[in-house]
């Protein structure tokens, strides 16, 4: 059992960019660069509203105010924004299908705890998400929807 717990908590998280839908919602909810936006190019999305499509690209950070251009922060930056600015905590917990079997598949659930009063657990998918990043992406989107 101890080996299983260590294996679950040694999951390596890569710095993953937020999805288009999450980046768009983050902008709508007030996410912006820290400090004065620079003229540096950063990952982002361009939306073609006419066709209902979007494409990945690089945008100048200072252009985040322009309609149909969205910054694509890494998930950890958006998570820190939610925590520091809106006091919304997100926790991703790994679980194993069988904690006694070290080859058991790991899956992930998220908890959102706004203002430390109550927690939501994802019950949409009882087996959880296949990766930490998938669970975090869903939690970020749900947490942004809590902002009035």
Tens of pLDDT, residues 73-88: 999 999 999 999 999 9
- Is 104 in contact with 138 (CB distance < 8 Å)? no
Give the confidence band of 100 by pLDDT, cuts at 50, 70, 90.
low
Q: Is position 22 within any domain?
A: no
Q: Is position 61 within any domain?
A: yes
Indicate whether 39 and 1 sit together in one domain. no
Three-state helix/strand/coil letters over the chain: CHHHHHHHHCCCCCCCECCHHHHHHHHHCCCCCCCCCCCCEEEEEEEECCCCEEEEEEEEHHHHHCCCEEECCEHHHHHHHHHHHHCEEEEEEEEECCCCCCCCCEEEEEEEEECCCCCEECCCCCCCECCHHHHHHHHHHHHHHCCC
Q: Is position 21 within any domain?
A: no
Indicate whether 12 and 82 sit together in one domain. yes
| Number of domain units in the chain | 2
Indicate whether 53 and 63 sit together in one domain. yes
Give the confidence band of 127 by pLDDT, cuts at 50, 70, 90.
low
Query: 62 lies in which domain range?
Result: 32-72
Tens of pLDDT, residues 7-60: 444 444 468 999 999 999 999 999 987 767 677 888 999 999 899 899 999 998
Q: Is position 25 within any domain?
A: no
Give the confidence band of 124 by pLDDT, cuts at 50, 70, 90.
low
Indicate whether 78 and 141 sit together in one domain. yes
Is 4's pLDDT higher than 60? no
Indicate whether 82 and 147 sit together in one domain. yes
Q: Is position 27 within any domain?
A: no
The CATH number assigned to the domain holding 117 equals 3.30.160
Tell me the pTM: 0.78
Indicate whether 66 and 85 sit together in one domain. no
């Amino acid at each position: 059992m101890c080996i299983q717990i260590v294996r679950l908590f040694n999951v390596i998280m890569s710095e993953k960019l937020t999805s288009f839908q999450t980046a768009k919602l983050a902008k709508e909810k007030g996410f912006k660069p820290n400090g004065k936006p620079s003229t540096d190019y950063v990952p982002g999305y361009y939306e073609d509203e006419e066709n209902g499509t979007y494409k990945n690209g690089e945008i100048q950070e200072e252009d985040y105010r322009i309609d149909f251009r969205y910054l694509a922060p890494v998930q950890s930056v958006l998570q820190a924004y939610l925590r520091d600015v809106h006091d919304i905590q997100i926790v991703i917990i790994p679980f194993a299908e069988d904690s006694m079997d070290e080859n058991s598949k790991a899956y992930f659930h998220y908890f959102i705890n706004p203002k430390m009063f109550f927690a939501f657990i994802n019950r949409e998918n009882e087996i959880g998400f296949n990766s930490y990043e998938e669970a975090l992406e869903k939690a970020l989107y749900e947490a942004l929807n809590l902002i009035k």
